[in-house]
Amino acid sequence: MDEQARRELRLASAYGLSLGALVRIQGIRPEMLFGLMIVSDLCRGTGAKALITSVVDGLHMINSLHYAGSAVDFILSLVEDREDWVAELSKRLGRDFDVIDEGTHVHVEYQPRVGASR
């Protein structure tokens, strides 16, 4: 984590979900916004803090859903059992979202599965 991220994390400490200063959100999909409401709710319920570090900005794989406004990265802190928290988020978001713990951050993407039943 660099100094900028550290500073933002300190500033964000009063909130459950917050947005990094340099993050660009232009073109974020409404479905992803709904997903972030669930992230926010889980933060408030558990005391965890999530700082969004990337939406449509940043460097990602060429076909990344970030560029379509369908993916968000956030740094997760103040969480007791990270694995449990991520699993709970995945459960609450349901089958149309993927939640991946990348270690340094959590990646959430909206990727509806047409006709799939899970």
Contact set with Zn ion (CB under 5 A): 73, 107
Beta strands in the chain (DSSP E): 17-19, 49-54, 71-77, 97-101, 106-110
φ/ψ region of 5 (left if φ > 0, alpha if ψ in -120 to 50, else beta) reads: alpha
Cβ-based nearer residue to Zn ion, 15 or 67: 67
**CB 65, min distance to Zn ion, A:** 8
**CB 54, min distance to Zn ion, A:** 6
By beta carbon distance, the residue nearest Zn ion is 107
**CB 105, min distance to Zn ion, A:** 7
Cβ-based nearer residue to Zn ion, 27 or 47: 27
Cβ-based nearer residue to Zn ion, 49 or 107: 107
**CB 73, min distance to Zn ion, A:** 4
Q: How many CA atoms lie within 13 A of 99 on its CB side?
A: 20
Cβ-based nearer residue to Zn ion, 8 or 73: 73
Strand order in the sheet with 97-101: 17-19, 49-54, 71-77, 106-110, 97-101
